[in-house]
Amino acid sequence: MKYSAIKELYHSIFNSYSKPSLETHIKKIIELDTFLPYSSTFFCVTNTQDLTFEYVSKNFKSCLGLDAKDLSAKGMRYFWSRMHPEDIEVWLTAMTNLMEFTMNEIPEDDRPKANYTWNYRIKNAKDNYVNIIQNTTPLAFDSDMKPIIGLAHYTVLDPKIKMQITATAKLLNKNNEYETIYYNNFSTKLLKDGISNRERDVIRLLLLDHSSKEISEKLNISSHTVDTHRRNILKKLKITSTGELKGLLKANNLFI
What are the chain's domains? 3-187 (3.30.450.20), 189-256 (1.10.10.10)
83-100 average pLDDT score = 89
Task: Name every residue whose Cβ is closer than 8 Å to that of residue 38 and which is 6 or more positions away in sequence.
Answer: 58, 59, 62
3-state DSSP call for residue 72?
A: helix
Angle at the Cα of 98 from the Cα atoms of 92 and 103, rounded to 5 degrees:
125
Q: What are the pLDDT digits (tens) for 233-256?
A: 888 777 777 777 777 666 555 555
Percentage of the chain exceeding pLDDT 90:
48
In this prediction, residue 71 has a pLDDT band, given cuts at 50, 70 and 90, of very high
* 8 A C-beta contact, residue 149 and residue 45: yes
CB-based burial, 26-64: b 16+ in 10 Å, e otherwise: eeebeeeeeeeeeeebbbbbbbbbebbbbbbbebbbebb
| pLDDT of res. 83 | 94
Q: What are the pLDDT digits (tens) for 107-148?
A: 999 999 999 999 999 999 999 999 999 999 999 898 899 998
Distance from chain centroid for Cα 133: 6
**Of residues 175, 136, 178, 139, the one with CA closest to residue 155:** 136
Q: Is the pLDDT of residue 184 over 80?
A: yes
Residue 113: DSSP 8-state: G
| pLDDT of res. 22 | 61
* 8 A C-beta contact, residue 81 and residue 70: no
Q: Give the count of alpha carbons within 13 A of 169, CB side only.
A: 21
| pLDDT of res. 171 | 95
Q: What are the pLDDT digits (tens) for 140-149?
A: 898 899 998 9
Edge-first strand order for the sheet with 52-56 is 52-56, 41-47, 147-157, 129-141, 114-123, 166-172, 178-185
| pLDDT of res. 29 | 73
- What average pLDDT does the chain have? 86
Q: Is the pLDDT of residue 183 over 80?
A: yes
| pLDDT of res. 204 | 85
Distance CA 245, CA 7 (A): 40
24-31 average pLDDT score = 72
Q: What are the pLDDT digits (tens) for 210-234?
A: 899 999 999 999 999 999 988 888 8
| pLDDT of res. 6 | 81
Q: Is the pLDDT of residue 191 over 70?
A: no
This prediction has a pTM of 0.73
Distance CA 160, CA 182 (A): 28
Top-ranked range on mean pLDDT: pick from 39-43, 96-100, 131-135, 237-241:
131-135
| pLDDT of res. 10 | 82
**Of residues 145, 11, 167, the one with CA closest to residue 75:** 11
